[in-house]
Amino acid sequence: MRYFMLLLACALSAPVLAGQAEDIVAAARAQIGVTLRYDGSYQRIAYPGGDVPFDRGVCTDVVIRAYRGIGIDLQKLVHEDMSAAGRADRNIDHRRVPNLATFFRRHGSSIAPTRRAADYRPGDIVAWRLPGGLNHIGIVADRVAPGGTPLVVHNIGAGAQLEDVLFAYEVTGHYRYLPKR
């Protein structure tokens, strides 16, 4: 309940933004200063609509919570998609970068990754491969760095942050998932 109240308060206090992508960005930015810790531990959560405590999470939780902010439950959608393809675990599947990337490829708009800032729009989802081969994911924000690169909302270890990381790592996926509400 606290999570939904926070999203509602942020939506009401934010400037009026047109369009679904802007709403996704607003819901992602609402997590900054609230989701303060990185915690990837396995937890049993409610289904549908389950979440780990809002003060913690991983990079995928930023994406999941942003879409929940616009009424899209990726936990349910990813679970149904994975169940149709084989074995699934509704507690964790949506919290794994490769699973989200597969879902977005199947149901969204997969865009070839580039190193051109102009190719990335607010609300786009970006996946990276970090040093050491780890996967990471975030949401392109509505602000840009002084050099013109779009900032990204993500959680790489210190909670939800708005940072200039779009081209800091190898981009492995670029998605634009704007489902009908």
Kindly report the three-state secondary structure assignment for every residue of the chain: CHHHHHHHHHHHHCCCCCCHHHHHHHHHHCCCCCCCEECCCCCCCCCCCCCCCCCEECHHHHHHHHHHCCCCCHHHHHHHHHHHHCCCCCCCHHHCHHHHHHHHHHHCCEECCCCCHHHCCCCCEEEEECCCCCEEEEEEEEEECCCCCEEEEECCCCCCEEECCCCCCEEEEEECCCCCC
- Does residue 122 sit within a domain? yes
- Does residue 180 sit within a domain? no
Q: Look up the domain containing 42 and give its range.
A: 2-175
Per-residue pLDDT in tens (0 to 9) along the chain, 181 residues: 444 434 444 443 343 344 999 999 999 999 999 999 999 999 999 999 999 999 999 999 999 999 999 999 999 999 999 999 988 999 999 999 999 999 999 998 999 999 999 999 999 999 999 999 999 999 999 999 999 999 999 999 999 999 999 999 999 999 999 987 6
- Does residue 181 sit within a domain? no
Q: What integer pLDDT is reported at residue 25 of this predicted model? A: 98
- Does residue 104 sit within a domain? yes
- Does residue 92 sit within a domain? yes
Q: What integer pLDDT is reported at residue 181 of this predicted model? A: 64
- Does residue 167 sit within a domain? yes
How many folded domains does the chain comprise?
Answer: 1
- Does residue 102 sit within a domain? yes
Question: Tell me: the pLDDT tens digits for 93-118?
Answer: 999 999 999 999 999 899 999 999 99
- Does residue 103 sit within a domain? yes
Q: What is the pTM of this model?
A: 0.89
Q: What integer pLDDT is reported at residue 108 of this predicted model? A: 85
- The CATH number of the domain holding residue 146 is 3.90.1720.10
